Amino acid sequence: MAAPSAPSLPALQQKGLMAADRGRRILGVCGMHPDHQEALKKNRVVLAKQLLLSELLEHLLEKDIITLEMRELIQAKVTSFGQNVELLNLLPKRGPQAFEAFCEALHS
């Protein structure tokens, strides 16, 4: 019986590329796009100071971006600034549609 041969370098490189591509695809399914994360980060202070959450949270809840428990967690913060920061912390983890839904909610 022949011993299994070691994979060639190009085969290993291909596996690495496939794993990296798989990681990007997974991010696309469950995480926010990096450009959208960056936009939230660059505007974080302005958003934290100026967001009016009542209608915004309802819109995000309706679009399944946040859950009832998340809304309660956000509303449990004492100040509006703290509530806004909590929302901004949650948004990047809420999937690829979160940024678009957030922008739609801001416009409505």
pLDDT per position as a tens digit, 81-100: 999 999 999 999 999 999 99
Q: What is the DSSP secondary structure assignment for residue 89, as one 8-state letter? A: H
CB 61 within 8 A of CB 25: no
Q: Kindly give, in sequence order, each residue whose CB lies less than 8 Å from that of residue 95, ignoring residues fewer than 6 positions away.
A: 29, 30, 31, 32, 65
pLDDT per position as a tens digit, 39-54: 999 999 999 999 999 9
What domains lie within the chain, and their CATH numbers? 34-106 (1.10.533.10)
Task: From residue 69, give the alpha-carbon distance in Å to each of 25, 50, 75, 84.
Answer: 28, 23, 10, 16
